[in-house]
Structure 1
Amino acid sequence: MTLLRIQLASDPGTARRVLHLHRQGRIHHDSREAARQEVWRQGRTPAGDPVFVGVTNGRRHVRLLYDVEVHPDTVP
């Protein structure tokens, strides 16, 4: 399988909340679904659930980072 890194624009408050949930072993369902939708938007087929890997540094422009496995036959 091929991994695709997805970056979702976020605000600092949401990024802190997602990171906090991740550290508790929980999932922020809205951002995970947004990552899945971004994979579909790029014309690729997800092969599994998006995996949260972190946030970018930034005061105003924060991004949530997700890795998503995609089927290799959908990668251009």
Structure 2
Amino acid sequence: MITCSEATKRLWEYLDATLGAADRAALEEHLASCRRCCGELEFAEELRRFLAASGRAEIPDDVLRRLNLTLEELEP
């Protein structure tokens, strides 16, 4: 099974449906047993919905700054 670090690195590819079958299966296996990563997935899904509904021009600067900090923390 993959680690939490590997899982969070693959979440956006998972949401974009760009993972290969083996990677997708490994991530889904991890998500089935990891509450923390399920929370990360829920956050990513909600963030994606928010961004799609809002458009970049409407995102307040402080929210965009916090978003960028969060994304930087997720990078390897």
The alignment's TM-score, normalised by the length of structure 2, stands at: 0.33
Higher helix share: 2
The alignment's TM-score, normalised by the length of structure 1, stands at: 0.33
Answer 1 or 2: higher relative contact order, Cα 8 Å, separation at least 6: 1
